[in-house]
Amino acid sequence: MTSKIVRTTAQFVTPAVLLYGLYLIIHGHVSSGGGFQGGAVFASSAALLVVAFGSERVSSLLQEHRLVAISCSGALMFIGLAFAGMGTTFFFNLFAGSPLFGNVPAYGPNPEDIWTGGTVPLMNIAVALNVVAGLSAIVLAMALATVKRGDDK
């Protein structure tokens, strides 16, 4: 268990990190960012919590089998979206022009239109689920494996 300063700072910083990661994920088809980057930022909050509160307390909150299920569902969603355009080609953008994220923007910079992208924002979310759960599970598994018994309290 670390000191009170570290714990309090982690409590304040973690929501900001989570919010920034979420912004990078769901705004990734308009501005810079995307599933991988936002997912890494999001998962770094898990590392912060492990450092501040100890891995056993975090692992009661985030269980490994749930993280594995989330990671698998993200990967399956990504491959499913890739196969959804199979009528034309693999990775065809099926939803461009449809009601779901379907606005087709004019040529040039127009950052105010976020209901665009077709399958791209959905794939961002799928990859982000994969990355968030995978990286959190890696951090948590390694922290749990290296904890000394009786030293954590």
Partner 1 sequence: MIRRVGISLTLIIIAVMFFASALLMHPFGAPPSIMDDYIIENSQQETGTNNVVSAVVFDYRGYDTLGEATVLFLAATAVIMLFRSRKGEVAEK
Q: How far is the CB of 98 from partner 1 (least distance, A)?
A: 10
Strand residue runs (E) in the chain? none
114, 102 Cβ separation under 8 angstroms: no
Q: Of the two residues 6 and 26, which places its CB atom closer to partner 1 in the complex?
A: 26
Q: How far is the CB of 55 from partner 1 (least distance, A)?
A: 11
As a whole number of Å, the end-to-end CA separation of the chain is: 6
Spatial separation of the C-alpha atoms in residues 3 and 60, rounded to whole Å? 21
Q: Of the two residues 53 and 91, which places its CB atom closer to partner 1 in the complex?
A: 91
Q: How far is the CB of 134 from partner 1 (least distance, A)?
A: 3
**Residue 107: exposed, middle, or buried by beta-carbon count in 10 A (0-12, 13-18, 19+)?**
exposed
Point out which residues bind partner 1 (CB under 8 A).
Answer: 28-32, 34, 36, 64, 68, 71-72, 75, 78-79, 82, 90-91, 93, 96-97, 101-107, 109-111, 113, 116-120, 123-124, 127, 130-131, 133-135, 137-138, 141-142, 144-145, 149
Structure-block tokens of residue 8: 């309090």
Helices 4-26 and 35-53 meet at what angle, rounded to 10?
A: 170
Q: How far is the CB of 22 from partner 1 (least distance, A)?
A: 16
Q: How far is the CB of 19 from partner 1 (least distance, A)?
A: 20
Q: Of the two residues 8 and 31, which places its CB atom closer to partner 1 in the complex?
A: 31
Q: Of the two residues 12 and 107, which places its CB atom closer to partner 1 in the complex?
A: 107
